[in-house]
Amino acid sequence: MSMYFVVFLYVFLVGASLAASLINDILSSVIALSIFGVLLSTAFAIMQAPDVALTQAVINSGIITAVFLAAYSQTEKPGCYGEEPDE
Amino acid sequence: MLMLGYSSAVVIFCTGLYTIMARRNLFKTVIGLSLMEASVLLVIVTSGFIPGGVPPIAPFRGVAVNPLPHAFTLTAIVIGASDIALALAFIVKLNKHYGTADIDKIRGLRG
Amino acid sequence: MSLVLAVVTPLLCAFLIPVFHLVWKTLPVCLVGVMGLASLAASLAAACTGWVSPAASLLGGWPPDLGIVLVADRLAAPFMLLTSMGVATSLVCSLEKYGGGPWRYYAIFFLLAASMNGILLTADLFNLFVFYEIFSVAAYLLVASSMSWQAMEAGLKYLVLGTMGALFFLLGTAFIFMATGILNMALLPEALSVVPRETLTVISTCLVLGLALKTGAFPVHFWLPDAHSSAQTPVSALLSGALVKVSVYALTRISCLFFLSNGGGVFRVITIMGVLSILGGHLMAFRQDDIKRLLAFSTVAQIGYILVGVGCASAAGIAAAVFHAINHMLMKMGLFITSGDICERVGTRSIRAIKDTAGVLPANVAIFTVFALAIVGVPPLNGFMSKWFIMLFSVTDTGLCPALAIAAGTIISAAYYYGVVSALVGSVVRRNTGSPGNNDLDSPTVSASSVITGTFAVLCLLAGLAALWPPMQSSFLSIGETAVDIEGYARLVLGK
Amino acid sequence: MNIRLALSRLASMILCLSFGMLLFQGIAALDMDNRVTGAAAHYLSNAPAETGANNIVSAILFDYRAFDTLGESTVIFTAVCGIAMLFPRKQILHSARGLSFITRRGIGFVAPFILMYAAAIILTGHLSPGGGFQGGTVLATFTVLMCVVYGSGFESTHLPPWKKDLLESAGALLFAGVGLFGLIVGTGFLSNLSAGFPSGAPGTLFSAGSIPFLNIAVALKVGAGLSTIFYCMINIVEDRRGS
């Protein structure tokens, strides 16, 4: 486990958090948050916390993202859901 | 490595706080809460890490990392997840009424 | 009798309710009543244990430094009495109002009762956080349980600010763990004394900010008026009467244990927050026309009085604060329940509109007036006594400024409560002199909630008189002595 | 208006930065020499003998600090109860709209393995990383996957809400029952080996006393709860599309 990898990981972590915060499009920032969750669980795994990493990956990137998307899909106008976005 | 973890946690905490205070969209607020929570988790896990340690699963060779923060973090993750799910449920309900998630357009949430 | 029953009994009730729902689509009222009685009995037993012979009970059979310990002492016991009375009252009102229909509401209600007992009993910082989260989640949901849009908004606002408070609290806990490696509240006062100054500042900032957010003290009070005014009557009464006091307990316990001997300007900050809450709460209440919103802002101000008492950092000041917490429970629950009853009868919550209508029951108005007099602070009643004591002790401990704020606040509150009472009395007079159309409202119904509010009104008078009785004063002083006695707490928890 | 927005952003940025500086100073004042001290050291050296669990995090979660875990799963219980209260479901829509036939078949082959994975995580929680929370969440994610593939009709035919309520309550009551057993025996609420739960041979599947039971209880609670949350939120989407 080289130090470069760890530094890279943390830089990406902070970058993903900034992206989740600053991007104006909600869907993109939800995806950024999901990426952030995965990176965080990698960081936990590096810090020798396998239990925490597993939970973080499964809960934050699985269920919470699903619930986020379920909630977000309802802020669209009624007709938009399920249609192709290119109209 | 410890300092790195702590510093990024502080940056992420402040990012989350800023998101809650400055952004005017309810989804952004929830994202901010999620970021703040994640940073606290990072602080807790980092505080138990020992460079060169092994995971706390017996039988271990060498020095194991501190298992107590892991237990706390597990608890905090689940609690945070239920908070966020609840916040999203409220947003869905409000959105049905107002048709928007913009804080400025929802009467009671201004200020 | 193990203290854990006080937490587990309501918890079991909450877990059983979904099972019962499969049998009865509408829960039988007596079943909910029996469950309420069981949890009330468990809480009162724990409170008695704490008052008569303070005790600790170990969980899982582990020694106190390995596992989690529950402790009931003389600071927790009065709060426990207060919250269990508040919960019982609110449960009776809810049962009277909704019957056994909303079973999820009752499940959340019992979870709330369990978590309040957990917060009051636990001696572990992280366990406190966990119970605080159950407490908060249940409170957000109870606020939103009326399903109106205002309630949803208030619930979301409460949720965002409350979760922020929880995260600040968790960050403070994480810093404590980083600095000392322990979370047992009895071992921490000693361990914190060697922590560097800067870290201690961070810890105190995070813990006090988090708890203040949850309490609803003035600079961070935004959620409180909305949440307390848009919930249904029994829930508002419970929120103002009992929930806020639990946060005050946590603030008192933590600041006394961790920061009394280790310095840091925590108590000064609490005093400042208290003064700001008194002035801000009363001034905002003065501008309200909605009666429930007025009462909610008045709650902010009353929290201010309690915080000023806690900010004295002396046994006497904390004892006076606890006395005021109990009095405020009696008065504010009574005010919310009677005003809710009146508003329902009249069909409006605006004070100006009440003035123009008739149809308010004289008995309700009489009881409301007693509570209003008590909360303003008219001498023989309890509100005067506790405010007087807080003023007295704050002059000796923290200077003249809080006392002046208390005096000013009393004058403002007299002004706005006079407005409410005169509107209500005017409405009664109007009814008796004319408006023959409203005679159908005359039927005097004795409801359980009016019996309870009547009892509370009598208790207000009795508590005011009891405060003059020296043995009562000395036993109240022992509450404050327990709060500041750090070694005693450590002895109790560690069993040495 | 725009200036006001910019000003408020600037103010909150300054506030956040100063709070960050405060936090950073607090961290910098500490020495960065992490050691395992106090209770944690005791857990590391004695947990396998005292609780029978090889995974020390599990030993802490379900034995030393099991009361925390009870509280934590109660938070989920509360949130689920509340979300189900906020979204009352009078009738459940049968939307059979899912993905294509090939995907359904493919998922049909994968499904047993996902369930097996969840079961393995739950049942070996005391031996290896994982446990009730993770396994329960995998179960909940499985129902989400089923919803994506088969449409929400899957829920109404296989897992109606009352069944999930029952499962959740059963998990909660199992947890509380294990706790009360210790209280009745007289060794304290939620006590494990001292209450007479069989310790078994260390390192095998049937060991660690009550910890596997608590894992199952938590898995039921978490799995049913998170699945309820997801279906409560998703059914509204169906509502809107249908109308």
- Measured between beta carbons, the chain C residues lying within 8 angstroms of D68 are 68, 126-127, 130
Burial zone of D109 (CB within 10 Å; 0-12 exposed, 13-18 middle, 19+ buried): exposed
Domain range list for chain B? 2-49+64-109
3-state SS string for D163-212? HHHHHHHHHHHHHHHHHHHHHHHCCCCCCCHHHCCCCCCCCCCCCCCCHH
Bond prior to B59 in cis (omega within 30° of 0):
yes
Contacts of A85 (CB under 8 A, 6+ apart): none
CATH dotted code for B2-49+64-109: 1.10.287.3510
Give Dmax (Cα) for chain D: 71
- Identify whether D11 is part of a domain: no
User: pLDDT for C130-149, tens place per residue?
Assistant: 999 999 999 999 999 888 88
The answer to whether the Cβ–Cβ distance between D56 and B58 falls below 8 Å is yes
pLDDT tens string A27-70: 899 999 999 999 999 999 988 888 899 889 888 888 888 888 88
The model's confidence at residue A86, banded by pLDDT at 50, 70 and 90, is very low
Question: What is the count of structural domains for chain D?
Answer: 1
Contact between A18 and D16 (Cβ < 8 Å): no
pLDDT for C327 beyond 70: yes
Write down which chains contact chain A via at least 3 CB pairs under 8 A: B, D
Q: What are the φ/ψ torsions at residue C348 (nearest 5 degrees)?
A: -150, 160
Exposed (0-12), middle (13-18) or buried (19+): which is C487, by Cβ within 10 Å?
exposed
What is the C-alpha separation between D167 and D176, in angstroms, rounded?
14
Q: Provide the chain B residues 1-20 that lie in CB contact (below 8 A) with chain A.
A: 1, 4-5, 8, 11-12, 15-16, 18-19
Identify the pLDDT of residue D239: 52
User: How many separate domains does chain A show?
Assistant: 1
Q: Which helix (H) or strand (E) holds A30?
A: helix A26-46
Residue D24 to residue B82, Cβ atoms within 8 A: no
A5 part of a folded domain:
no
Mean pLDDT along residues D181-207: 77
Chain D residues in contact with B59 (beta carbon < 8 A): 48, 54
Which pLDDT score is estimated for C88? 92
Q: Which domain holds residue C464?
A: 5-435+446-494
What is the DSSP code string of C390-418? Answer: HHHHHHHHH-HHHHHHHHHHHHHHHHHHH
For A45, the domain range is 24-75
Averaged pLDDT for residues D62-89: 88
Please judge whether A64 and B53 are an interchain contact, meaning their C-beta atoms are less than 8 angstroms apart: no
SS3 C58: strand
Q: Determine the Cα–Cα distance for residues C80 and C83; give it in Å rounded to an integer.
A: 5
Q: Across residues D109-115, what is the average pLDDT?
A: 86
CA dihedral over B58, B61, B66, B70, signed as positive or negative: negative
Measured CA to CA, the distance from residue A78 to residue D242 in angstroms comes to: 10
> Averaging pLDDT over each range in C127-136, C363-372, D30-39, which range is the top one?
C127-136
CB atoms near residue A78 (< 10 Å):
11
Question: Angle formed by the axes of helices D66-86 and C103-121, to 10°?
Answer: 150
The count of structural domains within chain C is 1
pLDDT band at residue A83, thresholds of 50, 70 and 90?
A: very low
**pLDDT(A15) > 80:** yes
- Domain residues for the domain of D84 are 35-242
Q: Which amino acid is at C95?
A: L
Whether residue B73 has pLDDT greater than 70: yes
8 Å CB contact between D86 and C108: no
Segment C92-116 mean pLDDT:
89
Q: Where are the alpha helices (DSSP H) in C260-377?
A: 266-286, 291-311, 315-346, 351-356, 362-376
pLDDT tens by residue, C206-263? 999 999 999 988 888 888 888 888 888 899 999 988 999 999 999 999 999 998 888 7
Contact C242, C295 (CB under 8 A): no
What pLDDT, on the 0 to 100 scale, is given for residue C345? 80
Domain presence at residue D122: yes
Residue burial C254-275, b: 16+ Cβ < 10 Å; e: rest: bbbbbbbebebebbebbbbbbb
Q: Do B27 and A26 touch (CB under 8 A)?
A: yes
The ipTM assigned to this model is 0.92
Q: D touches B (3+ CB pairs < 8 Å)?
A: yes
For residues C258 and C185, give the distance between their C-alpha atoms in angstroms, rounded to a whole number. 8
Per-residue pLDDT tens over the stretch D150-192: 776 777 777 788 888 888 889 999 988 888 888 888 777 877 7
pLDDT given for residue D238 in this prediction: 54
Evaluate if residue A82 carries a pLDDT over 60: no
